[in-house]
């Protein structure tokens, strides 16, 4: 975006956004610089317009709903996430609220849109769309593709804004085409936080040393790896005094491995409090005076745990709000190891790769469109989906700029961790930090621990629960109240295990002696069998294969693979063996010659059998 689009607004130490603007302007990327100055609050409390607010993480939505809703039956603010139905959104839109304020996860936005459609309301002119913590679209889209789903609609809204304390300026040309301005909030005071960066070759030892030398009532530890958090807690023998705040799936895995204090929401706290990335931004941690904040990056145990000093470190520190109107004194530590062997590309190298990749994709697309035979089109379609650049293309064929931005971002972040100096330079150059640096070195390193780790991994929920089910069914008396209670409790708590268990049934599970490996294999066979009888797939076989015609092994594979892709059948293996389950084929014969005069081997289709299997 060009320089003329930048604007500045000053803010004082005790001021909030509401003190310097009446409302968030439209078509802006609001770079608020400071966390906790009430951007989302300003939009919720601005009652002269309806709003749809996109929040990347669920705890934020629940927190805002708890703050503003006096009644669950008549909410002032509607949170939309998994479990909230379209009918509930329709009821809210028909409520007496003067201004409708909907806060939704990106993944649940489609339900909001559907509710508007059912009421024949033009969503794009009806509501202001605010995408909060907008940097998360770029940061997370690499592993969470659906986070960018609302972006196609975002540019269709008449009034809209992108907002964050640490925005990553997106490359999508729509921002320029729609003449977005960048609003920079400029603090009139010194807002730098003191941070101590400790580079180490043993994260466990450094953390233990810090605990030993710095006795505190509570520690708040931000580490983006559930398995690595579990390893730390076990290694330091602090299980009883530790709480882990994480996603629901991670909570289930930790619970069956003996971890006690687990939550998908904020609080209550223990002495050692561990947070995964869903709590890195936008969540408010209130009433914690003078917190000790520890950020951990461990490239040996969890390569994805790297932290971006320019955004994530700032956001993490910003989770802690004022206590009774007073600023807390925050003690901030970043403990990290370094990987000199880490490969990272420059932004220009990424851009060059995108150009080459896009050119290759366009060439293949032209060949696909120009091909006159169905087989040729199938081959080219397969090539289009398999090349590396395919991940940068949306379903509609347009470039996914956020996925490209994510690649640039991840490569840049990797570069910070190639050397201690690179990381320290980023912190030194930041306007947000006053930095101290320390270095610790131990004879036994993180790499040594990884090589000798006997705990290897956490057990899966399936592995832990299945023996408990076996023990129940091994009991002679299965009619007692306590037996029924135990079984129902297991079903309620581990519904996903019982959903899988139900696919094969009790008798087969007994025959397999409740062995989780055998049961998983049996379930997979059931699912494969189900996919083989998929009605749409059977139809695609009839459409693409014809009695009396001959096909090479490669043609058979491509045709079957296309049908599988169309119906999302991921467990089947395309090939002659699979086709023989639906068709009577000849023995392998010569079916023609190629351009070099060499024989082409294949199979003649004698009869289609699958009609009889329907």
Second-level CATH architecture of 3-187: 3-Layer(aba) Sandwich (3.40)
CA 60 to chain centre: 16
Q: How far apart are CA 196 and CA 212, in angstroms?
A: 17
Task: Flag whether pLDDT at 592 surpasses 70.
Answer: yes
For residues 435 and 336, what is the distance between their CA atoms, to the nearest angstrom? 15
Taking alpha carbons only, the member of 97, 105, 101 closest to residue 61 is 105
Distances from the Cα of 13 to the Cα of 5, 19, 282, 311, angstroms: 26, 11, 20, 21
Q: Which stretch of 141-145, 153-157, 284-288, 432-436 has the lowest confidence by average pLDDT? A: 141-145
For residue 612, what pLDDT band results from cuts at 50, 70 and 90?
very low
Q: Which one is predicted more confidently, 164 or 585?
A: 585
**Closest C-alpha among 269, 280, 298, 274 to residue 206:** 298
* pLDDT value of residue 389: 92
Q: Which of 284-293, 387-396, 491-500 bottoms out in mean pLDDT, i.e. has the lowest?
A: 491-500
Distances (CA, A) of 116 to 48, 106, 353, 516: 19, 16, 41, 45
Residue 348 has which token pair?
């220009």
Q: Is 441 exposed, middle or buried (0-12, 13-18, 19+ CB in 10 A)?
A: exposed
* Answer CATH for 193-340+419-452 from 1.20.1050.140, 3.40.50.300, 2.70.240.10, 3.90.180.10: 3.40.50.300
Q: Which residues of 165-192 are buried (b: 16+ CB within 10 A; e: fewer)?
A: bbbbbbbbeebeeeebbbbebebeeeee
510 Cβ contact partners less than 8 Å away, ≥ 6 residues apart: 473
pLDDT at 487 over 50: yes
Is residue 442 within 8 A of residue 205, CB to CB? The reply is yes
Specify the pLDDT at position 1: 55
331-336 vs 193-200, strand pairing mode:
parallel
Interstrand relation of 331-336 and 272-275 (parallel, antiparallel or unpaired): unpaired
- Please state whether the peptide bond connecting residue 268 to the residue before it is cis, i.e. omega within 30 degrees of 0: yes
Residue with more model confidence, 402 or 488: 402
Per-residue pLDDT reduced to its tens digit, 23-67: 999 999 999 999 889 999 999 999 999 999 999 888 889 989 999
Q: CA angle, 76 as apex, 72 and 80 as ends, to 5°?
A: 70
Q: Rounded mean pLDDT of 548-568?
A: 88
Query: How far are the Cα atoms of 60, 76, 265, 517 from residue 66, in angstroms, in the given order?
Result: 10, 10, 12, 43
- For the ranges 99-103, 205-209, 277-281, 398-402, the maximum mean pLDDT occurs at 99-103
Which pLDDT score is estimated for 137?
83
Q: 473 pLDDT exceeds 90?
A: no
Residue-level pLDDT at 512: 79
Task: Indicate if the pLDDT at residue 610 is higher than 70.
Answer: no
Most confident of the ranges 281-285, 374-378, 473-477, 486-490: 374-378
Q: What is the pLDDT of residues 146-175, one digit of tens each?
A: 788 888 899 999 999 999 877 678 899 999
Strand segments (E) across 322-389: 331-336
Most confident by average pLDDT, 53-62, 218-227, 317-326, 327-336: 218-227
């Amino acid at each position: 975006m060009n320089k003329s689009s930048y604007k500045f607004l000053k803010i004082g130490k005790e001021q909030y956004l509401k003190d310097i603007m009446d409302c968030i302007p439209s078509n802006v990327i609001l770079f608020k610089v400071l966390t906790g100055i009430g951007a989302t609050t300003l939009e919720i409390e601005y009652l002269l317009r309806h709003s749809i607010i996109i929040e990347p993480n669920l705890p934020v939505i629940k927190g805002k709903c708890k703050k503003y809703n006096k009644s669950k039956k008549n909410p002032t603010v509607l949170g939309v996430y998994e479990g909230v139905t379209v009918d509930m959104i329709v009821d809210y839109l028909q409520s007496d609220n003067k201004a409708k304020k909907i806060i939704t996860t990106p993944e649940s936005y489609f339900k909001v849109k559907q509710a508007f459609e059912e009421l024949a309301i033009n969503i794009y002119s009806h509501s202001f769309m605010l995408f909060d913590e907008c940097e998360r679209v770029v940061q997370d889209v690499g592993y969470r593709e659906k986070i960018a789903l609302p972006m196609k609609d975002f540019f269709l809204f008449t009034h809209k804004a992108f907002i964050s304390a640490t925005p990553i300026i997106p490359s999508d040309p729509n921002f320029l085409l729609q003449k977005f301005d960048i609003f920079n909030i400029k603090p009139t005071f010194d807002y730098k936080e003191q941070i101590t960066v400790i580079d180490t070759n043993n994260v466990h030892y450094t953390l233990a040393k810090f605990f030993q030398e710095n006795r505190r009532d509570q520690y708040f530890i931000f580490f983006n790896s559930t398995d690595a958090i579990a390893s730390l807690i076990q290694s330091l023998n602090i299980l009883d005094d530790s709480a882990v705040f994480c996603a629901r799936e991670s909570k289930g895995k930790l619970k069956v491995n003996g971890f006690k204090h687990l939550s998908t929401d904020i609080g209550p706290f223990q002495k050692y409090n561990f947070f995964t990335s869903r709590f890195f931004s936008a969540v408010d941690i209130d009433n914690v005076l003078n917190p000790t904040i520890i950020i951990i990056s461990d490239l040996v145990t969890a390569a994805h745990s790297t932290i971006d000093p320019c955004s994530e470190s700032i956001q993490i520190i910003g989770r802690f709000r004022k206590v009774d109107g007073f600023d807390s004194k925050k003690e901030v530590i970043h403990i990290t190891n370094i990987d000199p062997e880490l490969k990272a590309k420059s932004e220009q190298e990424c851009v060059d790769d995108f150009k080459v990749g896009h050119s290759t994709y366009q060439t293949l697309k032209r060949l696909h469109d120009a091909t006159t035979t169905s087989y040729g089109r199938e081959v080219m379609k397969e090539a289009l989906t398999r090349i590396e650049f395919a991940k940068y293309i949306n379903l509609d064929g347009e470039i996914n700029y956020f996925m490209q931005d994510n690649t640039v971002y991840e490569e840049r972040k990797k570069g910070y961790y190639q050397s201690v100096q690179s990381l320290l330079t980023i912190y030194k150059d930041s306007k947000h930090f006053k930095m101290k640096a320390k270095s610790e070195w131990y004879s036994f390193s993180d790499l040594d621990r990884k090589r000798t780790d006997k705990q290897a991994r956490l057990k899966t929920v399936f592995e832990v629960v299945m023996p408990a089910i076996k023990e129940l069914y091994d009991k002679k008396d299965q009619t007692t109240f306590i037996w029924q209670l135990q079984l129902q409790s297991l079903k309620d708590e581990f519904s996903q295990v019982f959903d899988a268990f139900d696919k094969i049934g009790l008798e087969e599970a007994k025959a397999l002696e409740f062995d989780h490996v055998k049961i998983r294999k049996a379930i997979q066979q059931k699912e494969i069998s189900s996919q083989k009888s998929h009605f749409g797939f059977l139809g695609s076989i009839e459409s693409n294969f014809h009695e009396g015609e001959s096909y090479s092994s490669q043609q058979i594979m491509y045709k079957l693979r296309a049908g599988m892709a169309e119906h999302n059948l991921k467990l089947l293996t395309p090939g002659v063996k699979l086709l023989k389950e639906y068709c009577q084929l000849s023995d392998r014969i010569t079916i023609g010659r190629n351009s070099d005069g060499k024989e082409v081997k294949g199979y003649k289709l004698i009869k289609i059998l699958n009609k009889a299997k329907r």
